[in-house]
Amino acid sequence: MTQDSGFTALVLDEADGKVTPSIKTLGDDSLPEGDVVVSVAYSDLNYKDGMVVKGIGRLVRTYPHVPGIDFSGVVERSDSPRFKPGDEVILTGWRVGEVHWGGYATKARVKSDWLVPLPKGMSLKQAMAIGTAGFTAMLAVMALEEHGLKPDNKGEVLVSGAAGGVGSIAVALLANLGYRVAASTGRADTHDYLKGLGATTIVDRSELETPAKGPMGPERWSGAIDSVGGKSLGNVLAHLCYWGSCASIGNAGGIGFETTVIPFLLRGINLLGIDSATCPRERREIAWPRLARELPMDKLDGLTHVAKLTEVSSLADKILKGQIRGRTVIDTGA
Ligand SMILES: NC(=O)c1ccc[n+]([C@@H]2O[C@H](COP(=O)([O-])OP(=O)(O)OC[C@H]3O[C@@H](n4cnc5c(N)ncnc54)[C@H](OP(=O)(O)O)[C@@H]3O)[C@@H](O)[C@H]2O)c1
């Protein structure tokens, strides 16, 4: 892609409350404000992308809109001293793809503060196989470690929604770090896949949805990464070991949950919130190189599917129905 040559994008238009996607060619003058122009090589598909593309949850207020909450690519132009043309960069979050135009395009203009350099040992494609999902899994692991999680603690680490994007990468990462990982899934056909990523135990989703008998159950989990929320979260908290923590990262199963203060008071447990979108740059620059070193890239390649911009709309339907396994990279065709 040469400078000022225009670009291709998946554009969402809205009429009478209905959101319609189409592939369009746009001029560079339509790009939003920003001090860095990136030739976008890859984007990806996250649950939030599904919501944006299908016009769910009023995440987007202004149309026409270019979705795609993540991208990786090569700097084309820069007014920032942090980047120069040719630098390989990653963007996740910062409400790009919601408020600001995103990565389902061959070109993006963004604030340099939102970009991190591609770490050594990772390709642009692998960066998007990781994307917000894997970055969030890493932030969850970091938060759990900061609250005392170690591989030799009593109990397995639970990952819920394990066959999804965040869950799959969390399983592979934790297993590679030496943790015993219990993967909870609602899909029987993913058990071998999850064991291949390193899960030691498979927990059926229905087991977590069955309320604990009383405010606490037997100690079971040394820590947990929860993509599901809803009624299973209270159950997870009731089975955390003494001083264990649960990183709450998602709401695939609902936003409300019931608990009591008892496991907090009598077992010293912690519930840790993770917001990857607004994570400060300094923490991003720790998390991304850790992903390059600690996530086994052969496992990552095995859980990744590559699709084109023209497939995004149908894939959005699937991720909202919980039918996507692992991670989907979108090749922009740039
Ligand atoms: N906090 C953050 O910064 C952050 C960042 C990224 C994502 N998220 C959130 O994290 C969640 C997962 O994101 P993702 O990209 O991994 O999505 P995903 O690929 O769709 O994975 C979600 C998984 O949750 C499980 N699930 C789906 N519907 C369910 C239901 N009704 N009840 C129980 N489990 C259900 C499924 O796992 P099984 O098939 O294995 O059961 C599904 O694969 C989403 O809620 C997303 O919005 C938050």
- Span from the CA of 47 to the centroid of ligand 1 (angstroms): 7
pLDDT beyond 80 at 180: yes
pLDDT for 1 equals: 47
pLDDT beyond 90 at 213: no
Rounded (10°) CA dihedral 146, 151, 155, 160: 70
The closest-lying atom of ligand 1 relative to the alpha carbon of residue 273 is 1
- Span from the CA of 320 to the centroid of ligand 1 (angstroms): 9
- Span from the CA of 90 to the centroid of ligand 1 (angstroms): 22
- Span from the CA of 251 to the centroid of ligand 1 (angstroms): 7
Question: Which of 47, 181, 187 has the most ligand 1 atoms within 8 A of CB, as the residue to mutate?
Answer: 47
* Residue 212 confidence class, pLDDT cut points 50, 70, 90: confident
> What is the arithmetic mean of pLDDT over 143-157?
97
- Span from the CA of 290 to the centroid of ligand 1 (angstroms): 23
Angle at 103 between CA 78 and CA 92, to 5 degrees: 80
Residue 145's contacts (CB-CB under 8 Å, 6 or more residues apart) are: none
Total number of residues shown for the chain: 334
DSSP string, 26-91: E-GGGSPS-SEEEEEEEEEE-HHHHHHHTT-TT---SSSB---SEEEEEEEEE-STT--TT-EEEE
The closest-lying atom of ligand 1 relative to the alpha carbon of residue 319 is 20
- The protein residue with its alpha carbon nearest to ligand 1, atom 6, reads 133
Residues with CB under 6 A from ligand 1: 46-48, 132-133, 136, 161-167, 185-187, 190, 205, 227-228, 249-253, 274-277, 319, 322, 324
pLDDT for 257 equals: 94
- The protein residue with its alpha carbon nearest to ligand 1, atom 31, reads 253
Strand ranges for the chain from DSSP E: 7-15, 18-26, 36-45, 70-78, 88-92, 107-110, 115-117, 156-160, 181-185, 201-204, 221-226, 240-248, 270-273, 304-308, 327-331
Return the biggest CA–CA distance within the chain. Answer: 64
pLDDT tens, residue by residue, 284-319: 999 999 999 999 999 999 999 999 999 999 999 999
> What is the arithmetic mean of pLDDT over 222-241?
96
pLDDT beyond 60 at 94: yes
Question: Which of 46, 56, 141, 191 has the most ligand 1 atoms within 8 A of CB, as the residue to mutate?
Answer: 46
pLDDT for 138 equals: 98
- The protein residue with its alpha carbon nearest to ligand 1, atom 18, reads 164
- Span from the CA of 166 to the centroid of ligand 1 (angstroms): 7
pLDDT for 3 equals: 56
pLDDT for 211 equals: 85
- Span from the CA of 280 to the centroid of ligand 1 (angstroms): 23
pLDDT for 35 equals: 98
Contact between residue 239 and residue 208 where contact means Cβ atoms under 8 Å apart: no
